[in-house]
Structure 1
Amino acid sequence: MERPIVEKSAASGLRKFSLLKEDPGRYLMRAVLAGMYLSIVVLVYWSLLNNLHDTPFGKVLASLFFGVGLSVIVFTNSELFTSNNMYLAVSSAEGKTSWPQTVALWVVCYLGNLIGAVVLTALLYFAGVLDSLPPEHALNQGAVHKAEQAAQVIFFKGILANWVVCLAVWVALQLKEDLAKIVAMILVVFIFLYLGFEHSIANMGTFSMALLSHGGLTFGQAVYNLIFSTLGNVVGGAVFVGLAYRYLSPEAMDQAEAAEAARELPPPRKAPKAAAH
């Protein structure tokens, strides 16, 4: 039964908007931290891919590691734009939030994630980490490849990426043990990394680092990719997961199923009367 997860997601969306409304600074900080967490994992991903490119399992190990980023974000209650595409779509479809409120939260969260990616990149730059990345490094080559794809390719890869990411979150919502949640998120997120889909927030970190390491990427190319990957991510998370599962689990249908199940159960047996003493 998906209905409890729908209700849990709707309640989460409402809590997120309530925090934004009551304490926007604290909400923005959570979004900034999510951008930083994901960006440091992005650098590790590209570094693994670069250093293990001669081994048959280089991409496998790098893709498996990336799920750590989503796990950290989930367990620290940080705010990630792409998973919020799902949460707020469900809460608005359930009437807990309005669609204008949803868009407002998405915008703030997106900007917070971007700030986080830029802050983390600045820290790496001043630490001298980005100076050691040559133009042929996997990060620089990957960034240029992402930016040179056709708009429709980026858009549809964006749909696929956030469809997978939000599925990872949706699966985790149905699990109780923390270890099970972490394993599930790592394994499901592996899919989008290994297949090379486009995640806008991860791309923020990739592009910020590539621009400062002078790997041949231009600012215009980065913006071009982010426009279409972001649009695809919204569709993938909000429509393909959030609204899809809300449609599959409407409240009226769930109540009807419960009533039907109750009719099929045998009537309860009456307890025997106690003997008189």
Structure 2
Amino acid sequence: MNEEKDKTQNDIDAEIHNSASDSKENESAKKSYGEVLKDQICEGQEVYNKKTSSIILSSIAAGLEIGFSYLLICTLLYFFKDKVEKDTLFKLITFVYPIGFILVILGQSILFTEQTSLLTLPVLNNKRGFGSLFKIWGLVILGNLIGGILMGVTLIWVGPKLEIFDLKTIEEMANHVLAPNSLTIFISAILAGWLMGLLSWLLSSAKETVSRIVIIFMITATMAFTGLHHSIIGNIEVFSGMIISPNIEALDYLRFQSFALMGNAIGGAFFVALLKYRAFVYNV
């Protein structure tokens, strides 16, 4: 049984290697499925090989950097609040929401949702175990949440001081994120995790910086326009609202964060990593 399993794994590894080699012979051609898969597995392996301190610091940086999306969201809501209808106002978020993601991804900080499928692929390819996966996920989530909380506290203070938004704007944004019930947040987060996993996959196919920016903008703008729940930027939105509003309790924050994290993880790990990997394996 073990010999057969090892042979199957060797066949899979060989097919990935051969697909990547064939594509490299013609650099002007688009990347093959095997080459994209190999890039994703190798990139995921690089994260596993990092030191724990490096992962945490990079994750905190991602949590801080994605906060610039929140800064722009609150500023936009405050600036246009008396100029456009409320429903339209939340759709305008689409144009500023991607900024933080562009900063994080091009800056190569470690963001949980973007790394979900990347970190799952080495496990599916038998290069890492589930214990290692959950450990890395835990470190990345912890760092992202700490960075987001620090950014949220900073913006709660600096926003009113600069008169670019007020505390009421923060509360309105938090209530908007918390409005759906738990099941809706969970399903919404699965779709968001799915999109973020696809984002990572698509970026492996893109070579130029401009193309990468367009892809990041396209995916994250879709999330913003449709109101899908992202656990890391949502962490800043809901935590900030909890700090300044007596109407938002710690249980509201925990409810949102737990369902959003689970949904994002399932969306990236199952709908992208597992399906993409198994689609390749079944062809071997």
TM-score range, shorter chain: 0.7 to 0.9
Q: Distance in 1 between matches of 2:208 and 2:127?
A: 28
One-letter amino acid matched to 2:95: L
TM-score normalized by structure 1? 0.82
Question: Is the contact between residue 91 and residue 224 of structure 2 (CA under 8 Å) also seen in structure 1?
Answer: no
1:176: how far off? 0.5
- Is 1:37 aligned to residue 65 of structure 2? yes
Question: Is the contact between residue 59 and residue 144 of structure 2 (CA under 8 Å) also seen in structure 1?
Answer: yes
- Is 1:79 aligned to residue 110 of structure 2? yes
One-letter amino acid matched to 1:253: N
1:26: how far off? 1.6
Aligned residues: 248
Q: Distance in 1 between matches of 2:167 and 2:246?
A: 7
One-letter amino acid matched to 2:209: D
Question: Is the contact between residue 140 and residue 215 of structure 1 (CA under 8 Å) also seen in structure 2?
Answer: no
Show CA shifts across 1:106-147 (max 9, x none).
Answer: 001000001101111232244364895243x2x422312433
Show CA shifts across 1:69-103 (max 9, x none).
Answer: 22211121111111121111112111222111111
Question: Which stretch of structure 1 is more off in the superposition, 44-53 or 166-175?
Answer: 44-53
- Unaligned runs of 5+ residues in structure 1 are 255-277
Q: Name the structure 2 match of 1:209.
A: 240
Question: Is the contact between residue 90 and residue 243 of structure 1 (CA under 8 Å) also seen in structure 2?
Answer: yes
- Is 1:143 aligned to residue 174 of structure 2? yes
Q: Name the structure 2 match of 1:25.
A: 53
Q: Distance in 1 between matches of 2:179 and 2:84?
A: 26
- Unaligned runs of 5+ residues in structure 2 are 1-31
Q: Distance in 1 between matches of 2:264 and 2:136?
A: 15
TM-score normalized by structure 2? 0.80
Show CA shifts across 1:138-158 (max 9, x none).
Answer: x42231243342221111000
Question: Is the contact between residue 44 and residue 121 of structure 2 (CA under 8 Å) also seen in structure 1?
Answer: yes
The equivalences for 1:1-277 within 5 A come to 1-19=32-50, 23-53=51-81, 54-55=83-84, 58-127=89-158, 129=160, 133-135=166-168, 137=169, 139-214=170-245, 216-250=247-281, 253=283
Q: Distance in 2 between matches of 1:128 and 1:233?
A: 29
Question: Which stretch of structure 1 is more off in the superposition, 48-57 or 158-167?
Answer: 48-57
1:237: how far off? 0.7
1:187: how far off? 1.2
Q: Distance in 2 between matches of 1:178 and 1:102?
A: 29
Q: Distance in 2 between matches of 1:224 and 1:216?
A: 15
Q: Distance in 2 between matches of 1:242 and 1:231?
A: 15
Q: Distance in 2 between matches of 1:67 and 1:215?
A: 30
One-letter amino acid matched to 1:133: D
Q: Distance in 1 between matches of 2:158 and 2:222?
A: 32
CA 1:9–1:34: 2 relative to 1, 3 Å: same
Structure of greater Rg: 1
Q: Distance in 1 between matches of 2:191 and 2:258?
A: 16
Q: Name the structure 1 match of 2:29.
A: none
Give the root-mean-square deviation of aligned CA atoms: 2.1
CA 1:178–1:228: 2 relative to 1, 3 Å: same
Q: Name the structure 2 match of 1:261.
A: none
